[in-house]
Structure 1
Amino acid sequence: MSEQAFLWEPAKYVQFSDFRDRPFFDLTSRIAAQNPSQVVDLGCGPGNLTATLALRWPEATVLGIDSSEAMITTARPAPGLHFELGDIAQWSPAEDTDVVVSNAALQWVPGHRELMSGWLAALRPGAWLGVQVPGNFGAPSHVLMRELAESATWRDRLEGVLRHDDAVGEPSEYHELFIRGGAQVDVWETTYSQLLTGENPVLEWVRGTGLRPVLAALGPADSVDFERDYAALLAEAYPAGEFGTVFPFRRIFMVGEKQ
């Protein structure tokens, strides 16, 4: 399912902003572009992180693109900072594009590896591509969601809703993709040990991202029943401790400069 197929809630997405923002800065800190003139953020969400690119490169024109009308409506344009509604799968870099950033968006786009190869082919020498995708599709949070969706109770209504087998690649695959695309690349992964607090904190986390397709497919009434069963499974997989619930989150990063 593509990200266009369900509605995003900007307020829910930024609920854990401290945790969600950190990978963006870990990613963009490795982009060594000095004086770019054209910077693009693909899957910019509500635009708060895109705005930091405009602060970092004040002489550049920074464009944020997202397929969610709710996200783009929330974004705040400024001099040199623009936002537009658009489909990542249909985008290609212009000749003068210097930096392309995509943070936690390409996992929603089928065929994103081919897209990235096309972007690298189109980028001019000296241009940069930085991508971060979640690498937690084998974590209990996602495995339990898929198993519940595939159970007899929910199978008929949720068949084909959740992507997992090909949602993202492994670091070695992306490493080779960048090299074949003519880029000098740095690829790494980080598992953040996040301490979540409150009632059903892991459920609250995935409500803002991975659970969105399920909620959209089921509608409000059935979503309550699904979340009840899912919350019980999560509570067992992620037991609360004295200080909160530890939620490991693996992320895969890649930053390359076209040679």
Structure 2
Amino acid sequence: MTAKVDWDADQYLRFEDERTRPSLDLLQGVRLTAPARCIDLGCGPGNSTELVAARFPQAAVTGLDSSPDMIEKARKRLPRLSFVQADLAGWAPEERYDLIFANAVLQWLPDHEALFARLAAALKPGGVLAVQMPNNLAEPSHVAMAETAAEGPWAVRFAHATEAREPLGSFSDYRRWLMEAGCTVDLWQTTYVHALADSTAIIEWFKSTALKRYLDLLPAGEREGFLASYRERIARAYPAEPDGKVLLRFPRLFIVATRRAA
């Protein structure tokens, strides 16, 4: 939605292992040997920044996030690294980077054609832009959010709000945009299947991200009703397995673009 919100680092970290795995997989696709300057865009509480710093210990690694809570947690977690609170939408670095790492953040920004060209221009020749973005707007978890928002007494509160996320481009779009920006491109999509305790755990997962943007537009008295309606839809969409677990499908798009030498 259009409202400006801060992210809840503690809620986000309730599923740290599951949220960190895509960062590990993305980093596996980075073919750099000795980068000097790296930046983790949308660094969150520092779990992805920690991976970048461990992979490239000789590099100067910086984390950037717009959330004060996330930056505070990242600085406590990694006191020897540099963290900057800034809005990525207006980020304009003065120097180029060997690695721009962006795990689960660029999906929140519009106009990806211009955005990816801008990020590619911030790479040194031979530098890498490594991106992972959730591609789950068509999944039951997000369809249920939209349906819940459109029904019930709270619907009027969302009537004039725009969606927080635009659908991602196609594989062809990202490959074309980055090739036009002077990069070679590797891209793939992985659907993770997370076995969570129950349907309530799915709600807790999204409370720190997509669902939070709906809840922040509601007064306290309407949030429980909204969540109860959403919970009913989630329970139908994600039936329990024989062991009681529910399976959250989570597709993610990966892009590793290397800027060609000038």
TM class by smaller structure: over 0.9
Task: List per-residue Cα deviations over 1:64-89 (Å, max 9, x = no partner).
Answer: 0000001001113433x210100111
Q: Which residue of 1 aligns with 2:190?
A: 190
Deviation of 1:202 after TM superposition, in Å, equals 1.4
CA separation in 2, counterparts of 1:142 and 1:162?
Answer: 12
What is the TM-score normalised by the length of structure 2?
A: 0.92
CA separation in 1, counterparts of 2:152 and 2:206?
Answer: 22
Amino acid across the alignment from 1:143: V
Task: List per-residue Cα deviations over 1:38-86 (Å, max 9, x = no partner).
Answer: 100010000122022112111111010000001001113433x210100
Partner of 2:21, secondary structure, is helix
Task: List per-residue Cα deviations over 1:221-245 (Å, max 9, x = no partner).
Answer: 2111100000001000111122200
Partner of 2:33, secondary structure, is coil
Partner of 1:124, secondary structure, is strand
Task: List per-residue Cα deviations over 1:129-186 (Å, max 9, x = no partner).
Answer: 011100010111101111221225332112325335x242222221211111111110
User: What 5-or-longer segments of structure 1 have no aligned partner?
Assistant: none
CA separation in 2, counterparts of 1:113 and 1:19?
Answer: 29
Q: Which residue of 1 aligns with 2:228?
A: 228
Q: Which residue of 1 aligns with 2:53?
A: 54
CA separation in 1, counterparts of 2:26 and 2:113?
Answer: 18
What is the TM-score normalised by the length of structure 1?
A: 0.93
User: What 5-or-longer segments of structure 2 have no aligned partner?
Assistant: none
CA separation in 1, counterparts of 2:66 and 2:60?
Answer: 20
Amino acid across the alignment from 1:157: R
Q: Does 1:84 align with 2:90?
A: no
Q: Which residue of 1 aligns with 2:255?
A: 254
Q: Which residue of 1 aligns with 2:36?
A: 37
CA separation in 1, counterparts of 2:247 and 2:103?
Answer: 23
Root-mean-square deviation (Å): 1.7
- Between stretches 46-55 and 152-161, larger displacement belongs to 152-161
Task: List per-residue Cα deviations over 1:187-230 (Å, max 9, x = no partner).
Answer: 00000111111451211111121101011111322111100000
Query: Does the 8 Å contact 1:161/1:213 carry over to 2?
Result: no
CA separation in 2, counterparts of 1:60 and 1:148?
Answer: 46
Q: Does 1:131 align with 2:128?
A: no
Query: Does the 8 Å contact 1:135/1:250 carry over to 2?
Result: yes
What is the 5 A alignment of 1:138-153?
Answer: 138-151=138-151, 153=153
CA separation in 1, counterparts of 2:152 and 2:97?
Answer: 49
Amino acid across the alignment from 2:206: V
Query: Does the 8 Å contact 2:199/2:234 carry over to 1?
Result: no
Q: Which residue of 2 aligns with 1:176?
A: 176
Partner of 1:125, secondary structure, is strand
| Alignment length (residue pairs) | 256
